Amino acid sequence: NPSEFPFFVGASPRSAETPEYFLNGQIQAIQISAMNEVGFQNVMRSGGVASVTSQTVVSLRFDAGFGSHFADQTTNGYDGVGQMIRWVER
């Protein structure tokens, strides 16, 4: 099921900049970097392909200075940093 919440828009995801405005919409696609013993690494480059399905539940939090962090709630190994979030504007 699509989740609906405001998106931070206009700020660099790895800076402490203040977002310019909020955009309400639905998540259409998420790409998340994986966390491993050497830190954050792109899922595709680490040899695996992450597919987020309707059975995948992730929580999203925004840290000023570091960007969006995802924590997998279904133990599928998707803890990491959001690399790309595609949404549909309402």
Dump pLDDT digits (tens) for 36-78. 444 444 444 434 445 555 555 555 555 555 555 555 555 554 5
pLDDT at 42: 43
Is pLDDT of 8 > 50? no
Rg of the chain over Cα atoms, rounded to whole angstroms, equals 13
Is pLDDT of 3 > 50? no
Q: How far apart are CA 86 and CA 72, in angstroms?
A: 18
Do residues 87 and 74 touch, judged by C-beta distance below 8 A? no
pLDDT at 2: 45
Q: Please, how many CA atoms are within 13 Å of residue 76, restricted to the half-sphere of its CB?
A: 20
What's the whole-model pTM score?
A: 0.28
Domain that holds residue 81: 4-89
For 34, other C-beta atoms within 10 Å of its C-beta total 20
Q: How far apart are CA 17 and CA 32, in angstroms?
A: 22
Domains of the chain: total = 1
